[in-house]
Amino acid sequence: MKSYLKNTFILFVLVSILIGCASGGSQQPLSPRAQPYFRDAQIFLQQSNFPRAMEYYLLVLENSPDHVVSMKTVADLYFMLADEAYDEEAIELFETAYDYYVRTIDTINGLADWTRYDGFENHLNDAELKLQSIFAKMFLMGQEYYQEEDFDAAEGIYLDLQRLFPERIESAQMLAAIANAQGDVQKAIGYFMTILEHDPTNSQILLNLAIEFQEQDDFDNARRYFLRFIEVEPENIAGHISLAYIEMQQEDYHAAFILYERAIEIEPENVDLISDAANIAQTIGDEEKVVHYLRRLVYLEENEENVSYLVYYLARMQNWEDLLTYARIWFNLNPEAREAVQFIIHSAYQQNNQEVLREFQEILNRME
């Protein structure tokens, strides 16, 4: 796998930046022994003789270990070399550049009077940006290995990134994905837990954890993390529906029904939710709720199936007035529906509605 930035133009820009940094107006003192090394290092850098420049900047740091320009330039040189390298060598060079950038930042921040030196603010900002660039470049290298299913190589890179950038949760996310790809669920859960330590309200990780525990039939932990997900994203119905599914697996249909009702409050026109709520209400024997949600379903989707279910329940509840209304809707949707006609006749009989009774008795006779 080749490096991502083997690019002549970028190389030219980096060299220009290095020369600018190394020849800046910093007045940070050098030891007498380091001064000639620094002059030689600058000359070699301007000549693009990077190995020799590196050699002399390192000599400067041996004699003046806190010299910011030298350590920042060494970091930039390693960064540039990493961009031109391949695979393991690139990773090693990026990690070395990382060490020198961190050292640069720590050194500048450790100087009580660093603002008096020209260019130090630029060195500080650029070092911080380069650290993020190192993360991005190594992360992309890991992704390429992951896509090639070279999981060992990808895992090695993300473990390095997790060590170098413990505050970045993306590495742990990829490590969890690798563990899942390798079938190591417990390892994946461990990485998800690591992410939550840094970002306890990360809703996607809470959802992932809940699903992982659910697939392991660890319903207590699955319920725990679905509840945390709901706390973080109360308007996301995924948490309510997922938790309802667990409750149904545990045969607690009343708890599942409550969760569906909350989801319907969030999405009152979601016909799938309403249909499921009607079915669960039927399971728990709450006929009034069944009818309530079937009415809503018919209002949103007036089709024969929905209306017929509602008619059956209205008949069971002996709600003759509503039965007549919805049975007629059923008939209007399908004039060949013999059952719809029979329900109309039965309802009309119960209400002593002779006009409707005669009309639909004739229709039934013609059907026969």
Q: If pLDDT is split at 50, 70 and 90, which confidence band does 8 have? A: very low
Q: How many domains is the chain partitioned into structurally?
A: 2
pLDDT at site 94: 96
Mean pLDDT throughout 218-227? Answer: 95
| Inside any domain, residue 154 | no
Radius of gyration over every alpha carbon of the chain, rounded to an integer in angstroms: 36
| Inside any domain, residue 138 | yes
- Whether residue 1 is predicted with pLDDT greater than 80 in this model: the reply is no
| Inside any domain, residue 199 | no
Q: In which residue are the tokens 């080749």 written?
A: 2
Please tell me which residue, 290 or 23, carries the higher pLDDT value.
Answer: 290
Q: If pLDDT is split at 50, 70 and 90, which confidence band does 296 have? A: very high
- Whether residue 111 is predicted with pLDDT greater than 60 in this model: the reply is yes
| Inside any domain, residue 97 | yes
Mean pLDDT throughout 235-247? Answer: 96
pLDDT at site 23: 46
- Name every residue whose Cβ is closer than 8 Å to that of residue 94 and which is 6 or more positions away in sequence: 78, 79, 82, 134, 137, 138
- Whether residue 34 is predicted with pLDDT greater than 50 in this model: the reply is yes
| Inside any domain, residue 161 | no
Domain boundary (129, 148, 167) is at: 148
pLDDT tens, position by position, 138-191: 999 999 999 999 999 999 999 999 999 998 999 999 999 999 999 999 999 999
| Inside any domain, residue 327 | yes
Range of the domain at 95: 1-148
pLDDT at site 118: 79
In degrees to the nearest 10, what's the CA dihedral of 180, 184, 190, 194? Answer: -40
Residue 152 and residue 182: Cα distance in Å, rounded?
A: 10
Mean pLDDT throughout 259-263? Answer: 97
pLDDT at site 84: 87
Q: If pLDDT is split at 50, 70 and 90, which confidence band does 5 have? A: very low
pLDDT tens, position by position, 79-92: 999 988 888 899 99
pLDDT at site 25: 47
The proportion of the chain whose per-residue pLDDT surpasses 90, expressed as a percent, equals 84
Average pLDDT, the chain: 90
- Whether residue 15 is predicted with pLDDT greater than 60 in this model: the reply is no
Residue 90 and residue 111: Cα distance in Å, rounded?
A: 32
Domain boundary (148, 163, 196) is at: 148
Mean pLDDT throughout 322-330? Answer: 95
In degrees to the nearest 10, what's the CA dihedral of 358, 359, 365, 368? Answer: -140
Q: For the domain that residue 316 is a member of, what is the CATH number?
A: 1.25.40.10
Least confident of 3-17, 57-71, 105-119, 328-342: 3-17
Q: If pLDDT is split at 50, 70 and 90, which confidence band does 3 have? A: very low
- Whether residue 246 is predicted with pLDDT greater than 70 in this model: the reply is yes
Mean pLDDT throughout 45-62? Answer: 95
What is the token pair recorded at 298? 């018919």
Domain boundary (91, 122, 148) is at: 148
Which range scores top for mean pLDDT: 1-10, 119-128, 256-265? 256-265
Residue 43 and residue 295: Cα distance in Å, rounded?
A: 85
Mean pLDDT throughout 295-303? Answer: 93
- Whether residue 22 is predicted with pLDDT greater than 50 in this model: the reply is no
| Inside any domain, residue 224 | no
| Inside any domain, residue 315 | yes
pLDDT at site 27: 63
